[in-house]
Chains A and B, each alone.
Chain A
């Protein structure tokens, strides 16, 4: 115990002493303050936003298992990010494919090193919260039936083998960034990767026993709505913070985020009202999330009108994809990770090209780049990331399955996972 702590302290001290002192003028305290806050907001999205959003949608006997999955994935992702994830994503690029190991254990990321106008440690922490929520999103594919050990192993491997490389390609100065791909806050890096991988995992894991005709309804729609509300608020940090500055760009990112969320929720509710006669709370908040996921890649490039269009598109398309995945393709992506996040992220990634038009209030295309050029780059990069995510997820799942097995005992699936997997009961009634 003592030895590990001494080593840790030693590494920390070494980092402090070897970090080159940066020019004090480079750090903007307004930007720094905002990104520190944004970091907290994005962590709040996972803990407890996403946890509650998902937990309310499962049966009462599994409520704790979902929250526990989010908590432990957050913890493991945090440590892995600090140990090697940050370096793989944002370290010195090896041919544009992956970062090096130069920033392992946050080496060189002390109190003085700078990234843009903010301290690098703040940047690294902000990015950590993205690395936390992305594997946590995949929880929606496998509730009520996946082994806890398999979940943790899958999530850890996925973070390092899918998330970190893609983050490097798009944000870490990798080859997709060099091609001019636009992904402001994670349509490709977060939502497409998680959504598509969730689909693969749901397919390979197999459906819940009661799927599709004898499912129990969400046990606590109020909990789900509470979680969705926290996600909405936290998303101001997710998209607004991705500006990495406290300025008009951040303000506009927040504005379009919000407009898209509201529009998507209205759209979803209108569809339900017309189709079923009653607009539901679960549907409305799902619409909110669809709007938020879809605007994510576009939030630095479109204006308010573009946000309206994106929100409406998200509401319609994600609504229909939910039915398609479950009813037509018969894949038990239980909490619709692909239909909402995957499709939303991909849709927003493509729409940002036409909707960046200045005539729609957007920021315009990049210098010398036509809309069609940009759309081509967006489509190509999304397609490659989809293939990468599917292929690597497949391998990780196969290995995990071989080592640990994926599913819990059938009897445990009947009762819900709280007692069998965690020895706890969510409600004492």
Chain B
């Protein structure tokens, strides 16, 4: 089992969700985060005073998938979240030690 974590542009969330369910991923968790990489922040001006806002709003999604789904999931995210502009984000893959479905107590791949 692996967790595929991706930081993406917020407006791409719906596209990524569709792409993931399209390859058979059953669920995902999404949260609003802020970050920066090569995308610099921006400057806002209020009453003539400049405010530098270094962080850019992003969305972080996490999906835990069985080993045989990892490639499909990563590809689905990368294709659907891509816009070609700086700031598209990154995908990371973690090892997952175990998983449990809370309602039933199932473990392993059947918990996913």
B44 closest partner in A (C-beta): A217
- Most chain A beta carbons < 10 A, residue from B44, B45, B46, B47: B47
- Are B49 and A276 in contact, CB atoms less than 8 angstroms apart? no
Write out the residue numbers on chain B whose beta carbons fall within 8 Å of the beta carbon of A218: 46
Write out the residue numbers on chain B whose beta carbons fall within 8 Å of the beta carbon of A57: 46
- Are A217 and B47 in contact, CB atoms less than 8 angstroms apart? no
- Most chain B beta carbons < 10 A, residue from A215, A217, A282, A319: A217
- Are B47 and A286 in contact, CB atoms less than 8 angstroms apart? yes
CA distance A141 to B47 in the complex (A): 15
A216 interface residue, CB < 8 Å from B? yes
- Are B45 and A280 in contact, CB atoms less than 8 angstroms apart? yes
- Most chain A beta carbons < 10 A, residue from B44, B45, B48, B53: B48
Q: In residues 3-62 of chain B, which contact A (Cβ within 8 Å)?
A: 44-49, 51, 53
CA distance A286 to B45 in the complex (A): 13
A325 to chain B minimum Cβ distance, whole angstroms, is: 10
Q: In residues 62-76 of chain A, which contact B (Cβ within 8 Å)?
A: none
- Are A336 and B47 in contact, CB atoms less than 8 angstroms apart? yes
CA distance A283 to B44 in the complex (A): 12
A326 interface residue, CB < 8 Å from B? yes
- Are B49 and A212 in contact, CB atoms less than 8 angstroms apart? yes
- A223-240 CB mask vs B (1 if < 8 Å, else 0) is 000000000000000000
- Are B47 and A322 in contact, CB atoms less than 8 angstroms apart? yes
B85 to chain A minimum Cβ distance, whole angstroms, is: 21
Write out the residue numbers on chain A whose beta carbons fall within 8 Å of the beta carbon of B49: 212, 215, 322, 326-327
- Are A283 and B51 in contact, CB atoms less than 8 angstroms apart? no
Write out the residue numbers on chain A whose beta carbons fall within 8 Å of the beta carbon of B45: 272, 276, 278, 280
Write out the residue numbers on chain B whose beta carbons fall within 8 Å of the beta carbon of A286: 47
Contact of B53 among A212, A217, A272 (CB under 8 A): A217
- Are B53 and A283 in contact, CB atoms less than 8 angstroms apart? no
B53 to chain A minimum Cβ distance, whole angstroms, is: 7
CA distance A272 to B51 in the complex (A): 15
Write out the residue numbers on chain B whose beta carbons fall within 8 Å of the beta carbon of A280: 45-46
- Are B48 and A319 in contact, CB atoms less than 8 angstroms apart? yes
Write out the residue numbers on chain A whose beta carbons fall within 8 Å of the beta carbon of B44: 217
CA distance A9 to B81 in the complex (A): 73
- Are B51 and A282 in contact, CB atoms less than 8 angstroms apart? no
CA distance A162 to B48 in the complex (A): 31
- A262-278 CB mask vs B (1 if < 8 Å, else 0) is 00000000001000101
CA distance A323 to B51 in the complex (A): 14
Write out the residue numbers on chain A whose beta carbons fall within 8 Å of the beta carbon of B46: 57, 217-218, 221, 280, 282-283
B71 to chain A minimum Cβ distance, whole angstroms, is: 37
B57 to chain A minimum Cβ distance, whole angstroms, is: 14
- Are A215 and B48 in contact, CB atoms less than 8 angstroms apart? no
CA distance A293 to B18 in the complex (A): 55
Write out the residue numbers on chain B whose beta carbons fall within 8 Å of the beta carbon of A326: 48-49
- Are B51 and A217 in contact, CB atoms less than 8 angstroms apart? yes
- A314-327 CB mask vs B (1 if < 8 Å, else 0) is 00000100110011
B51 to chain A minimum Cβ distance, whole angstroms, is: 4
CA distance A336 to B47 in the complex (A): 9
A218 closest partner in B (C-beta): B46
Write out the residue numbers on chain B whose beta carbons fall within 8 Å of the beta carbon of A215: 49, 51
CA distance A216 to B51 in the complex (A): 7
- Are A322 and B48 in contact, CB atoms less than 8 angstroms apart? yes
B34 to chain A minimum Cβ distance, whole angstroms, is: 14
B112 to chain A minimum Cβ distance, whole angstroms, is: 30
CA distance A322 to B46 in the complex (A): 11
B100 to chain A minimum Cβ distance, whole angstroms, is: 29
- Excluding A272-B45, A323-B48, 4 further A-B contacts by CB distance (< 8 Å) are A57-B46, A212-B49, A215-B51, A282-B46
Q: Which 6 A-B pairs have the closest CB atoms?
A: A217-B51, A323-B48, A282-B46, A276-B45, A217-B44, A322-B47
Listed A/B pairs (30) with beta-carbon separation below 8 Å: A57-B46, A212-B49, A215-B49, A215-B51, A216-B51, A217-B44, A217-B46, A217-B51, A217-B53, A218-B46, A221-B46, A272-B45, A276-B45, A278-B45, A280-B45, A280-B46, A282-B46, A282-B47, A283-B46, A283-B47, A286-B47, A319-B48, A322-B47, A322-B48, A322-B49, A323-B48, A326-B48, A326-B49, A327-B49, A336-B47
